[in-house]
Amino acid sequence: MDSLFADEAFERRPRLVSPGAVWLPGYLDERAQEWIIARWSQWQAGPVPAHSTRIGGHPMSVKTIGLGWHWRPGAYDRRARDVNNETVLPFPDWMTRLGRQVIDSAAEAVARDDDQPGSAASVWGLTASDYEPDVALVNYYDETAKMGMHQDKDEYDPAPVVSLSLGDTCIFRFGNSESRNRPYEDIRLASGDAFVFGGPARFAYHGVTKILPGTAPDHGRLSHLGGGRINITMRTTGRD
Ligand code: SIN
Ligand code: MN
């Protein structure tokens, strides 16, 4: 049994998962989680509601809202041509500030940890104040939704991706840049966790293999959605 509890997957401390990839468990406090979760209803009110993006003719099991840009496989557009042709909501300023804070904290956490030589910040190629994300993909996972292993590669700018998790815990599989296969690590992303991947990890394959129903803390429960998980990823499209 000792080995079960020694498993890294259950350890919740900030750490470098692979060069360029940093996990910050419990980054958002209770108030911040509640506040961000409450934003969902505004975003859902449109003009472009959450929808299941089609990939190769099949709808994804997650429902997505784009802020700043609308994403379709291979394309970013201001309008949601595959939904209702409306223009998406702007990328919120508070999210830029939050993204910069996450980058800053992630860099600090890595630098502080003697067990982890090699600074993630130096490989991201930017400092927090230069981080200018212009799109957020807000994904809602019901209890059965998943996301297959993929690379985030529709952005032209190599800036890091900042990810925030709210609601139920998921199993987030974070791998390598060569293929969907091993080596990868399964990480339990819980409500309030932040995760940054950039530099050599920017094109790492990743996915969500499972939602763990009913695991959200009280302040992180998505009661207006009947449970499940929200993930927000901020990215820099490099488009205009
Ligand atoms: C994504 O890969 O875009 C989402 C990852 C996640 O839900 O944690
Ligand atoms: Mn992704």
Lowest mean pLDDT among 5-14, 89-98, 149-158, 166-175: 5-14
Query: How high is the pLDDT of residue 112?
Result: 79
| Atom of ligand 1 at shortest range from CA of 229 | 7
Ligand 1 pocket residue status of 234, Cβ below 6 Å: no
* Residue 236 region by backbone torsions, left for phi larger than 0, else alpha for psi between -120 and 50, else beta: beta
Ligand 1 pocket residue status of 231, Cβ below 6 Å: yes
The ligand minimizing its distance to the Cα of 60 is: 1
Query: How high is the pLDDT of residue 119?
Result: 64
Claim: this prediction has a pTM higher than 0.75: yes
Output the residue whose Cα is nearest ligand 1's atom 6: 231
Residue 2 lies in a domain: no
Quickly list H helices, the chain.
2-6, 30-44, 93-112, 120-124
Residue 130: give its domain's CATH number: 2.60.120.590
The ligand minimizing its distance to the Cα of 233 is: 1
Centre of ligand 2 from the C-alpha of residue 183, in Å:
17
Is 45 exposed, middle or buried, given 0-12, 13-18 or 19+ CB atoms closer than 10 A? exposed
Centre of ligand 2 from the C-alpha of residue 151, in Å:
6
Residue 6 lies in a domain: no
Q: What is the pLDDT of residues 12-66, one digit of tens each?
A: 999 999 999 999 999 999 999 999 999 999 999 999 999 999 999 999 999 999 9
SS3 127: coil
CB of 164 closer than 8 Å to CB of 137: no
Q: Which domain holds residue 89?
A: 21-235
Ligand 1 pocket residue status of 232, Cβ below 6 Å: no
Query: How high is the pLDDT of residue 79?
Result: 98
Residue 11 lies in a domain: no
Ligand 1 pocket residue status of 195, Cβ below 6 Å: no
Strand runs (DSSP E) across the chain, as ranges? 15-18, 21-24, 54-55, 58-59, 63-67, 70-72, 75-77, 135-141, 147-150, 161-167, 170-174, 185-189, 194-197, 206-211, 229-235
Residue 15 lies in a domain: no
Residue 182 lies in a domain: yes
CB of 21 closer than 8 Å to CB of 201: yes
Ligand 1 pocket residue status of 23, Cβ below 6 Å: no
Query: How high is the pLDDT of residue 159?
Result: 97
Structurally, the chain folds into a number of domains equal to 1
Q: Which two tokens stand for residue 30?
A: 């209770």
pLDDT higher for 102 or 8?
102
Ligand 1 pocket residue status of 174, Cβ below 6 Å: no
Q: What is the pLDDT of residues 165-220, one digit of tens each?
A: 999 999 999 999 999 999 999 999 999 999 999 999 999 999 999 999 999 999 99
Residue 4 lies in a domain: no
Q: What is the pLDDT of residues 104-155, one digit of tens each?
A: 999 998 887 756 655 667 789 899 999 999 999 999 999 999 999 999 999 9
Query: How high is the pLDDT of residue 2?
Result: 47
Asked whether residue 160 carries a pLDDT value surpassing 70, the answer given is: yes
Residue 108 lies in a domain: yes
SS3 95: helix
Output the residue whose Cα is nearest ligand 1's atom 8: 231
pLDDT bin (cut points 50, 70, 90) of residue 1 is very low
Residue 240 lies in a domain: no
Query: How high is the pLDDT of residue 210?
Result: 97
